[in-house]
A and B are shown apart, each in its own frame.
Chain A
């Protein structure tokens, strides 16, 4: 177990360094910098060079990447060009909101998808299966932006059940944002289909027929054998899904004006605040790597075949 975790952690560390390089190169390739469009057109070229020099833009990109990377290792993630605040402080303020949103969405997604998947798989071919399958395919097909706007219109403005967007206070979530967050993600329908497929296939498996032929109680066959084996693939994806939820919030946070890192990322890119944007990208990559590690640990706990490796 310890060997597996250490091995995965080492791979993750290498991945993150490569991703940091990629992120930095991408920001270099984008047109303009933090000064573009934000200074008077009448400014002299000499003053512009001076300002670029003060911000370190006159140094070669390799030197800037090296100092950015060494700063990261020391816990210094740079200063936001637009907010004039340390990036870590700026992102830290919003990260809690996104984390809460993501974690809540994740729990709801898993609870709903596993329940729907189990029902559909257990009663394969019946009307509950058809209802769940149709619903999940519909959710997969509707673009999340369309779904978000529809939800705002129906629940926020027409029915007035929920506030249409934003958050009450920092860290307190707007209910509609939460609902949409969990609905919008493809995780719900995708996971439902995965669980459904596993449960349905599990019921036909020879070892299940074998248990039934020996008179093992149907409830025990289902809970101890079919369900446990069916959930292993879903659980193994949980880490990756959690990372996707945290990293993929840009659109939903922008639609709902929700103060999380997704919205901060979009704002940072629009203002060419690359230290902030780069840090958020790197944080997302870190969450994805941590999620993958979490998946490996969960698989290790659930599946004895992996524990033996």
Chain B
């Protein structure tokens, strides 16, 4: 088997509370997982289980207090241009036009001369199914699904090899959710990206993921392929999660 693109081993994430200099909230405890190109790993769990904190640690948004993150064979640095992250709402500055939103990573990483930027933005918008007429629009003029598409276009701008997705379909209506899941599945295959998909939506996770890590209280309590987890869950928590998710094993 090829080595994983992302190898997370034993990371712990904790937060300080108030003026205290001590870590008093332990969100993630010694978690390990790996992600391979062209495949999607789901971090599944209820709110507060630590899945988003683990993802934020990979993205560099929080510093783990222990453990190691290896990306593309090397420990991760401060800048991580090979990774892109998408969020629940599209995560777009409300005062920026869509063209500027999508071009922002290109400018930030000085990837191309300014004269080529417009064409690159049009191409990225096309990739996610948005017409170029949307370039001049402001975020409030787009629907939730369109905003998420714009967020995905921006995430693709630097041609990442790892896509980190934090509940990207949670806030969408069923139609938009299905379309975004289709889009993500297509892009992951097309660009051979590895994807870590954080969600508590089991239906979405089953649609997109190849493997799951089930998280509870900051720890991974069970891991396995989609079929195995849905049909032969080993842990009581996983069984409870599947029942509460009202997902039929298939």
Given A205-B91, A215-B81, 11 more contacts at CB 8 Å? A207-B92, A210-B87, A213-B80, A213-B164, A214-B85, A216-B104, A225-B93, A229-B95, A305-B94, A305-B140, A308-B141
Give the nearest-CB partner of B18 in chain A. A125
Q: Mark B99-116, 1 if CB is under 8 A from A, else 0.
A: 000001100110000000
Q: Is A206 an interface residue (CB 8 A)?
A: yes
Q: What 0/1 readout, one digit per residue, does chain A (125-147) give for beta carbons within 8 Å of chain B?
A: 11100100000000000000000
Would you call the interface of chain B mostly helix, strand, loop, or mixed? loop
Using an 8 Å CB-CB cutoff, how does the interface string of A278-309 with B read, 1 for contact, 0 for none?
Answer: 00000000000000000000000001110010
Minimal beta-carbon separation of A66 from chain B (angstroms): 47
Would you call B59 an interface residue if the criterion is a C-beta within 8 Å of the partner chain's C-beta atoms? yes
> Which 10 A-B pairs have CB atoms at the shortest separation, nearest pair first?
A210-B91, A206-B91, A215-B79, A213-B85, A206-B87, A213-B59, A207-B91, A207-B93, A206-B89, A214-B105
Q: Mark A216-232 against chain B: 1 for CB-CB distance below 8 A, else 0.
A: 10000000010011000
Say yes or no for B176: interface residue by CB 8 A criterion: no
Assess whether B87 is in contact with A209, with CB atoms less than 8 Å apart: yes
Binding site for A on B (CB under 8 A): 18-19, 56, 59-61, 78-81, 83-85, 87-95, 97, 104-105, 108-109, 138, 140-141, 151, 158, 164
Binding site for B on A (CB under 8 A): 125-127, 130, 205-207, 209-216, 225, 228-229, 303-305, 308
Which residues on the B side are within 8 Å of A125 (C-beta)? 18-19
Bound-state Cα–Cα, A126 to B17, Å: 10
Q: Is the CB of A213 within 8 A of B61?
A: yes
30 contacts between A and B (CB under 8 A): A125-B19, A127-B19, A130-B19, A205-B91, A206-B88, A206-B89, A206-B90, A207-B93, A209-B56, A209-B87, A210-B87, A210-B91, A210-B92, A210-B151, A211-B104, A212-B60, A213-B59, A213-B60, A213-B61, A213-B83, A213-B84, A213-B164, A214-B108, A215-B78, A215-B80, A215-B81, A228-B95, A304-B95, A304-B138, A308-B141
Q: A210's closest neighbor in chain B, by CB?
A: B91
Q: Bound complex: CA of A228 vs CA of B60, how far in Å?
A: 24
- Distance in angstroms from A31 CB to nearest chain B CB is 54
Which residue of chain B lies nearest to A205 when distances are taken between CB atoms in the complex? B91
Kindly list chain A residues whose C-beta atoms are within 8 Å of the C-beta of B104. 211, 214, 216
Complex Cα distance, B81 from A229, in Å, reads 26
Chain B residues, Cβ within 8 Å of A127: 19
**Minimum CB distance partner of A226 in chain B:** B93
In the assembled complex, which residues on chain B have CB atoms less than 8 Å from the CB atom of A205?
91
In the docked arrangement, what's the CA distance between A305 and B137, Å? 10
Kindly count the residue-residue contacts between A and B in the assembled complex, taking CB atoms under 8 Å apart: 68
**Would you give the shortest CB distance from A132 to chain B, in whole angstroms?**
14
The chain A residue with its CB closest to the CB of B97 is: A304
Q: A215-B81, A215-B108, A304-B138 are in contact. Are A229 and B19 (CB under 8 A)?
A: no
Q: How far is B18's CA from A130's CA once the two chains are assembled, in angstroms?
A: 10
CB distance from B78 to the nearest CB of A (A): 7
CA distance A306 to B155 in the complex (A): 28
How close is A204's CB to chain B, nearest CB, in angstroms? Answer: 11
Contacts of B61 in A (CB 8 A): 209, 212-213
Provided the pairs A209-B91, A214-B84 are in contact, do residues A308 and B108 lie with their beta carbons within 8 angstroms?
no
A125 and B89 CA atoms in complex are apart in Å by: 26
What's the Cα separation between A130 and B97 when bound, in Å? 37
* A213 surroundings in chain B (CB, below 8 A): 59-61, 80, 83-85, 164
Q: Which residues of chain A come closer than 8 Å to B95, judged between CB atoms?
A: 228-229, 303-305
A234 to B93, CA, bound (A): 18
A205 to B91, CA, bound (A): 8
Nearest-neighbour CB distance to chain A for B171, whole angstroms, equals 10
B212 to chain A, nearest CB (A): 23
CB distance from A300 to the nearest CB of B (A): 13
Residue of B nearest to A225 (CB): B93
Kindly report which residue of chain A lies nearest to residue B93, judged by CB atoms: A207
Determine the chain A residues whose CB is within 8 A of the CB of B89 once the complex forms. 206
> How far is it, in angstroms, between the C-alpha of A138 and the C-alpha of B45 when the chains are bound?
44
A107 to chain B, nearest CB (A): 25
Q: Is the CB of B108 within 8 A of A229?
A: no
Q: Roughly how many angstroms separate A125 CA and B151 CA in the complex, as a whole number?
A: 31
In the bound complex, how far is the Cα of B7 from the Cα of A159, in angstroms? 67
- Complex alpha-carbon distance, A308 and B136, angstroms: 11
Contact partners of B79 in chain A: CB under 8 A: 215
Which of B88, B91, B92 has most chain A Cβ within 10 Å? B91
A206 to B167, CA, bound (A): 12
Q: Bound complex: CA of A214 vs CA of B91, how far in Å?
A: 12
Look across to chain B and name the residue whose beta carbon is closest to the beta carbon of A212.
B61
B91 adjacent to A229 (CB under 8 Å) = no
- Most chain A Cβ neighbours within 10 Å, of B59, B88, B92: B59
Question: A210 touches which one: B19, B81, B85 (CB < 8 A)?
Answer: B85
